[in-house]
Amino acid sequence: MLIRFAVSNFRSIRDELELSMVAADAEERESVFESRRQDALGLSLLTQAAVYGPNASGKTSVALSLLWLKSAVVSSLLDWSDSIPTNPFRTCMDQPSSFTLDVFADGARYEYALDIDRDRVLYEAAFVYEGSERVELFERDGDAIDLAPRIVKSSAIRELLTDRTLVLSVARRYREAALLPLIDSICRTEFLGVDRFRHDSRSWGSSHSTLSLFGGDSLRLLGLAGPDGDQARMRERAVSLLRLADLGIRDVRVEASKAAMPDGGEAYSLPKLKMLHTIAGTEVPFDLADESDGTLSWFEMIGPVLHALEQGSTIVVDELDRSLHPTLSATLLDLFHDVDSNPRGAQLVFTSHDTSLMSHLRSDEIWLTEKRDGATVMQSLASYRGDRVRRSERLGSGYLAGRFGAIPDTSLERFLRGGKVAA
């Protein structure tokens, strides 16, 4: 589980910004939405975090910074030979970017820190907590690197390490046991609605895509099908979520379709998915292209969400409310809150403008972004005290009323004062 994540000098984030999944004590006593007590930590962790704020306030930058860190661990070994693809704040281009991550994995707390610029890894370190003791796994400062004796593959790691390669990337290649819980926690994080190029991330090719849950030989040939033993159970859960959404879908069918090779070679099979609707007592198949954006958005989420719930991993969704009815978004939140549907402590981190979802969240699960001096700052709603936050108050109404800031200035008078209006 994610404990905390901090980032500085990344996109619109200049000064250090921190997202914490640690439950606030007052919220723990008062909220009907329970956090997950982790006795080994002496803390309770939240299963959700929602980031609200006006457009261009930096909500997506928070999601992208998490994605950047995962991408760095996955790809630095192969892709960073010429330069490091940093994305610093515009006035801090010559300064390092920093990332800090704390996770709870395999019964222990791990801490990871990284400072980089375009040319090299400046600092990288990982620690594990054994009781209250913070034990170094490795620490790299400039050209100096110290690998703990428990790092079995230390010689192989040193051999592949360069100025622009992360220790975690090399350790991932060699499946270094001492670092695997940390590495897997980072790499299992799923992302929807956000990628490094700001393109739409909807794709059926992910190994955790919803399409992969519906089986078929064509999927196995493409490497999309999961283990046979899990297929029927996961498929039924996916269909249940489609039915739960009351979209008129009774079932899903995957058909094989032939696609010709460009060079005239032998045609190959591609999976084609059909949504089966019942209309006037008759089963009618719909192509995906015939479904609404809301149905497609919900369908897209099902695979990654079920995977996160199954593995106890984290999923990050940018603009959760995009094309989704608020009832569906609320249903998704309930899946992560409920211990029966989320027994392994999976976590959902999302951005949104939908204030109706605030009634399904604790105040320590709500984070507010805004721009100050052109840079993104973020603050937990639980940090507001006194008359502005009360348990009896509708948080969404209070947010829209501007009690906590982080809302756009939509004053028409200000617009009219700013210049002439075209006739």
* Distance from chain centroid for Cα 294: 20
Residues 77 and 79: their CA atoms lie apart, in Å, by: 6
Q: Which residue has the tokens 């897209």?
A: 300
What the block records as the tokens of 319 is 């603009």
Kind of pairing, strands 314-317 and 190-192? parallel
User: What pLDDT does residue 180 have?
Assistant: 97
Q: Does domain 2-189+313-400 have CATH number 3.40.50?
A: yes
Kindly list the domain boundaries of the chain, sorted by start residue.
Answer: 2-189+313-400, 210-291
CB 160 within 8 A of CB 176: no
Q: Which residue has the tokens 């403008």?
A: 353
User: What pLDDT does residue 240 have?
Assistant: 86
User: Which residues, other chains included, contact 334 with Cβ-Cβ below 8 Å and sequence gap of 6+?
Assistant: 341, 360
Residues 271 and 216: their CA atoms lie apart, in Å, by: 8
pTM of the model as a whole: 0.82
Q: Which residue has the tokens 């109404």?
A: 397
What is the four-CA torsion angle of 4, 1, 185, 121, rounded to 10 degrees?
A: 10
Q: Could you tell me which of 83, 149, 151 has the C-alpha nearest to residue 119?
A: 83
User: What pLDDT does residue 241 have?
Assistant: 87
* Distance from chain centroid for Cα 315: 4
In tens digits, the chain (423 residues) has pLDDT values of 999 999 999 999 999 999 999 998 666 555 667 788 888 888 899 999 999 999 889 999 999 999 999 999 999 999 998 999 999 999 999 999 999 999 999 999 999 999 999 999 999 999 999 988 999 999 999 999 999 999 999 999 999 999 999 999 999 999 999 999 999 999 999 998 875 444 333 333 345 678 777 764 444 433 444 445 567 788 888 888 888 776 788 888 877 776 666 666 666 666 778 888 888 888 888 888 888 888 888 888 888 899 999 999 999 999 988 778 888 899 899 999 999 999 999 999 999 989 989 989 998 999 999 999 999 999 999 887 654 444 434 555 554 445 555 454 444 454 445 444 443
User: What pLDDT does residue 223 have?
Assistant: 43
User: What pLDDT does residue 2 have?
Assistant: 96
Encoded amino acid at 56, one letter: A
User: DSSP string of 36-89?
Assistant: EEETTTTEEE-SEEEEE--TTSSHHHHHHHHHHHHHHHHHHHHH-SS-------
**Between the CA of residue 217 and those of 207, 256, 270, 273, 404, what are the distances in Å?**
15, 9, 10, 13, 53
